[in-house]
Amino acid sequence: MDITLLGGLNQGLLWAVMAIGVFITFKLLDFADLTCEGSFSLGGAVAAIMMQNNGWDGISVCFIALLAGAAAGLVTALLHTKLKIAPILSGIITLTGLYSVTLITMEGKSSVALINVPVFYKFLEMKSLYSTLIMGLICVVALIGACYWFFGTEIGSALRATGANEKMCRAQGINTDNTKIIGLMLSNALIALSGALVAQSQGATSWSMGQGAIVAGLAAVIIGEVLIPAKSNFAVTLTGVVIGSIIYRIIYALVYYVGMPTELIKLSTAILVVIALCLPMIKSKTLAFAKMADRYLISKYPKYAEYAEKRDAKKAAAKERRKQASLDKIKSLTEQLSTCTDEKTVRKLHNALVREKEKFTEKYGSKELEETEQNSEALAAAAVGGEDK
């Protein structure tokens, strides 16, 4: 049982790289990309052939898999942006072509075994389960850090804005075709990387290894959304996707552990995905029922009503304290911006101020922020000075 759980954890970390790639297209870019399954198989095929036939090590082939996945994403992006083919059809066309490309890469073989080759975790010199766990954690943490940095840059912000409101982005002068190309290349590069890692972990690859990958990726994203609040920090959101992938893979491993017949594996996987997709609805229904029960208890039981009044007062006070702390931070940043003369520091302060205002607006609305700035002459003057800079 312990080995089953550890194996599920290992696979969850490696498949989490793919889940993050799916998250980029489906959630950030709002693009229904079905290239995923083909990119995953291609990454595994490239890694296996380069290692088995050419003697490459497991880490080097991961970079080649990244490039192969990026090329697959580029094809889908060009079909959509330049030839104006619908997103789903673009992905299906590329996916269909990638089946042949993967078979050609594997020299016509349906599968390739990795025998006596230096896979990515071999240099740790410990049991494969533990070495895979350590390397998987390193990959995931590094990827979350890199994504957090990239999507905070101007290009990354433009990519996120394209998914949120493409027409508005075009009105602001953003080339949305370029942001889609970058997003699809990045997504499929990560998916192919995951394929390379999973192939090395399993000790073999096949042309059909990516079948069901899109389902697993979406399930991980949905589970992560249920576990992590919608307005969380971006790095926390990505961590939720990783946790969702781990949970999905552990459940998948347990299905095998209990000895379920092979012909029922796909059916159980489909049921699991349906449950994962229904979790947001179940969560909202549960919260609505809890509120209804709370109102009923308040109307029927005076003691519970007293408790509820104190509870709500504490929540309101805590919310007010957080709101005031956010306003104080905005005021501090605008005052620093008004007196700062160093150009590099001005940019940092300005970006920090914009992010803090966005957070405040999301939680409490823009009206209160505008009223606060109007009522505080010093804050308003500082804000004007910061904008001039």
Q: Are 350 and 337 in contact (CB under 8 A)?
A: yes
Strand 204-206 and strand 111-113: the pairing is antiparallel
Q: Distances in Å between the alpha carbon of 208 and those of 41, 103, 251?
A: 7, 10, 22
Q: Are 173 and 268 in contact (CB under 8 A)?
A: no
> What pLDDT, on a 0 to 100 scale, did the predictor assign at position 1?
61
Which class does domain 2-280 fall in?
mainly alpha
Helix (H) or strand (E) holding 152: none
Q: Are 72 and 129 in contact (CB under 8 A)?
A: no
Q: Which of 120, 127, 130 is nearest to 6 (CA)?
A: 130
> What pLDDT, on a 0 to 100 scale, did the predictor assign at position 227?
79
Helix axes 36-54, 58-81, angle to 10 degrees: 150
In angstroms, the CA 249 to CA 246 distance is: 5
The DSSP secondary-structure symbol of 29 reads: S
331: tokens are 């005021």
Torsion angle, alpha carbons of 119, 121, 122, 126, to 10: -150
State the burial class of residue 323 (Cβ atoms within 10 Å of its Cβ: 0-12, 13-18, 19+): middle
> What pLDDT, on a 0 to 100 scale, did the predictor assign at position 258?
79
Please tell me the pTM assigned to this model.
0.78
Q: Distances in Å between the alpha carbon of 268 and those of 27, 94, 261, 271?
A: 26, 28, 10, 5
**pLDDT tens track, the chain, 389 positions:** 667 788 888 899 999 999 999 999 999 998 989 999 999 999 999 999 999 888 888 899 999 999 999 999 999 999 999 999 999 999 999 999 999 999 999 988 888 998 888 888 887 777 777 888 899 999 999 999 999 999 988 899 899 889 888 888 888 888 999 999 999 999 999 999 999 999 999 889 998 888 888 888 888 888 888 777 666 778 889 999 999 999 888 888 887 777 777 777 778 777 877 887 787 788 789 989 999 998 999 998 888 899 999 999 998 899 888 888 888 888 888 888 878 878 888 888 887 877 787 777 777 776 766 766 665 544 444 444 444 44
- Residue 364 neighbours by CB under 8 Å, 6+ apart: 323, 326
DSSP string, 174-234: --HHHHHHHHHHHHHHHHHHHHHHHHHHHTEEETTTTTTHHHHHHHHHHHHHHHS-TT--H
